Structure formats: C-alpha cells, structure tokens
C-alpha cells in the first residue's frame, strides 16, 4: 500500500474512536440501523460462509496473527525501536483496520438499547421479589434434579457427547424463537475452541470471535456447564454483545428447552445468580433458601468450582483484569460486575410472564 494510504488509515483511527464515543449516546440509532437491520445480514453471511468448517477458522487466524505480532516485536527489539517513522504509521494503520472490522462485524452491538428496554420490562426490583423468584427457581431445580437422578444427594451428569450438546443447544433456540423471533438462529457456527486448555487457565468458558462470527466453547469445562455456555455464545452471535444480556438469553433458551438436562442446567444457572445477589443483600434469607436446595445441586456447583480451582494460576488475574477493562471500554461501566444485571432481567421477566397469566 502506498504511504498516502497508510497515513490516511492511521489518521482514521482517532476519528473512529471519536465517532464511537459519539455513537454511544444514540442507542436507538444503533438498535434500529445496525443491530436490527445491518448486523443480522452480516452475521448470517459469516455463519453460512464458514460455519460448515469442522474446525475454528477464527482460532487459526488468531494463531497466524499472534505469530506475526511476535515476529514484529522481535524485529523491533533487534532494531532497538529505531526509526519509528518507518513502522509507527504502519502499526497505526493496521490497528485502524482491526478497530473498524471489530465494530462493523459485531462491536457496534455494545451500543444498542439495553435489553430490559427492548423487552419492555423494569430494571429495578426489591429483595422480596428476588426472594420470591429464588424460591420458584429452587422448586423447579429440585424437581428437575429428582427427575434426572432420583437421588437428591448426587450431582446431575449430562449423558450426551459434546457434539450432541451443541446440536441440542441449537434446537433450544429453534424452540424459543417461536415466542422471540429476534432469537431465531440460522446458520450453525458453534465450535469447540482450539484453545480450550489455555481458556481454562485464563478463566473463560468460551468467547465469540468478532472477526469470523464463530461461537467458541471451551469444551474442557464441566459438561453440566456447556449447555448454558453454548447458549450464551449464540446469544452473542445474535447481536447481544453485553455479557449480562447474553447470560439472560442463555437462561431463557435453556429454561425453556424441551430437554430436561438443558432445563436443569438453565434453572440452576439462573438460581446461582439469584442466590449470589440475595447473599449480598440479605445473608440470613440466603441461608434459609440454601437449606431448601437438594444437596446434589450444590454438588454440581462444587464440581464447577473445583474445576476452576484446579486451573488457577498466577496469570489468571491478569487475563481477568484485561477482560474487565475491555468490558468497561465497550460500554459496560461496571466491567465484570455488570454480570449481576442478569438478576434484574430474570426477576422482571418472570414478573412480566406472571402478569400475563
């Protein structure tokens, strides 16, 4: 590329940043023109384009670019970072292209309307409402646990292979799209991450590759968690970029799934979020509800905790801090703490559904 072109691309980087800051103030515009109109076509094109591949194209691309970055850094050290005018503009031009692709292919979804506004539900709730919902979730979780184990003290083990779980995850979206057309999922692109082992040590269940539109699942995690993780990543694929919203959609998909194992995964997933928030608000009420939970459900929770404890390492907090900062930069002011917003969505969604009856 000619130098003028590189200078132009480098100049566009700060222009893009200012534009994103400006656009963040107009979520209705993003919702109507990007998230509902342009993005669905882009995402379907990517999913149909390479979703059929039996491997993760995105992971291979990350590997390739990772190697290029390492070689670039080595070269810079060898040259002792001399003559920055020869490489600084090139670097800014590349960053400008990557920044643009990230937002065009997926990232603008961070600035769409909050999900509670789209669903026309409230975002606030009382501790009494939270307690009431937690009781409902415990009752349903206990019922499903008994149905699947016939023993209240043993954990539920999902009998499906990981490929079968993926197929059933997609079937869950086919079921829920009858009531929520915006959750219609066409063009399968749900894949095992080639980096599942590193992801485990980084503390992540999965991720969406914004450049290829592939939903990547860490298949090293406990099988009981894969239904909600896979559903979460599909939620991202459908344009719900915020973590809390994708978690709520994962609850919605799995709790309404025709398969009992998926419903169990979904209800206990939602229950854990509600209990964590209840513990923060009222520890005594939390303890009273915890006593009502089947020991086998608590065993499932322990299995998940044991998995992450077994993969703890000194670098995990660095990865978590980096991702937390990424969330803050991308319109999630509370970073990883914003995950608790899923509780508000759950409480008010159940309240709305109850009022329909």
For residue 275 the two structure tokens come to 């209990």
Mean pLDDT of the chain: 88
Q: 227 with 261: CB under 8 angstroms?
A: yes
pLDDT attached to residue 301 = 94
d(CA 247, CA 270): 9
* Ramachandran area for residue 238 (φ above 0: left; ψ -120 to 50: alpha; else beta): alpha
pTM of the entire predicted model? 0.91
pLDDT attached to residue 18 = 95
pLDDT at 318 over 80: no
Mean pLDDT lowest among 135-139, 157-161, 229-233, 309-313: 309-313
Q: DSSP code of 55?
A: S
pLDDT at 82 over 90: no
Mean pLDDT lowest among 17-31, 76-90, 175-189: 76-90
pLDDT attached to residue 321 = 54
Mean pLDDT of 24-38: 95
pLDDT at 337 over 60: no
pLDDT band at 122 (very low <50, low <70, confident <90, very high): confident
pLDDT attached to residue 59 = 94
pLDDT at 328 over 70: no
pLDDT band at 201 (very low <50, low <70, confident <90, very high): confident
For residue 203, the tally of other CB atoms under 10 A from its CB is: 17
pLDDT at 242 over 70: yes
By 3-state DSSP, what share of the chain in percent is helix, strand and coil, each rounded to 5? 70, 5, 25
Long-range contacts of 132-139 (CB under 8 A, 24+ apart): 133/274, 133/346, 133/347, 133/350, 134/271, 134/274, 134/275, 134/278, 134/289, 135/289, 135/292, 136/350, 137/267, 137/270, 137/271, 137/274, 138/271, 138/289, 138/292, 138/293
Q: 229 with 221: CB under 8 angstroms?
A: yes
pLDDT at 334 over 60: no
Q: 214 with 58: CB under 8 angstroms?
A: yes
Mean pLDDT of 122-146: 94
Mean pLDDT of 28-53: 94
pLDDT band at 327 (very low <50, low <70, confident <90, very high): very low
pLDDT at 35 over 90: yes
pLDDT attached to residue 356 = 62
For residue 282 the two structure tokens come to 């009222």
């Amino acid at each position: 590329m000619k130098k003028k072109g590189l200078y132009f691309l480098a100049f566009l980087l700060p222009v893009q940043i200012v534009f994103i800051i400006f656009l963040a103030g107009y979520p209705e515009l993003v919702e109507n023109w990007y998230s509902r109109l342009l993005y669905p076509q882009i995402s379907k094109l990517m999913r149909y384009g390479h979703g059929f591949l039996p491997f993760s194209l995105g992971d291979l691309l990350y590997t390739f670019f990772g190697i290029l970055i390492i070689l670039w850094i080595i070269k810079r050290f060898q040259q002792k970072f001399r003559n920055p005018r020869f490489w600084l503009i090139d670097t800014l031009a590349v960053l400008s292209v990557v920044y643009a692709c990230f937002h065009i292919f997926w990232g603008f979804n961070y600035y769409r309307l909050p999900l509670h506004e789209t669903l026309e539900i409230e975002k606030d709730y009382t501790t009494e409402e939270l307690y009431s919902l937690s009781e409902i979730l415990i009752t349903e979780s206990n019922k499903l646990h008994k149905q699947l184990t016939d023993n209240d003290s043993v954990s539920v083990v999902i009998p499906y292979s990981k490929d079968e779980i993926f197929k059933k995850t997609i079937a869950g979206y086919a079921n829920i799209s009858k009531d929520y057309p915006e959750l219609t999922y066409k063009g399968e692109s749900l894949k095992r991450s080639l980096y599942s082992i590193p992801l485990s040590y980084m503390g992540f269940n999965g991720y969406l590759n914004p450049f290829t539109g592939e939903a990547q699942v860490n298949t090293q995690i406990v099988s009981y968690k894969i239904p909600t993780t896979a559903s979460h990543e599909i939620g991202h694929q459908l344009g719900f970029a915020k973590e809390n919203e994708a978690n709520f959609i994962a609850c919605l998909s799995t709790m309404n799934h025709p398969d009992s194992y998926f419903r169990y995964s979904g209800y206990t997933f939602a229950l854990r979020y509600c209990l964590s928030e209840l513990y923060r608000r009222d520890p005594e009420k939390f303890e009273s509800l915890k006593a009502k939970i089947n020991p086998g459900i608590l065993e499932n929770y322990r299995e998940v905790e044991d998995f992450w404890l077994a993969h703890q390492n000194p670098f995990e907090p660095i990865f978590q801090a980096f991702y937390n900062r990424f969330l803050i930069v991308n319109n999630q002011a509370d970073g990883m703490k914003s995950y608790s917003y899923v509780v508000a969505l759950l409480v008010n969604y159940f309240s709305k559904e109850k009022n329909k009856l």
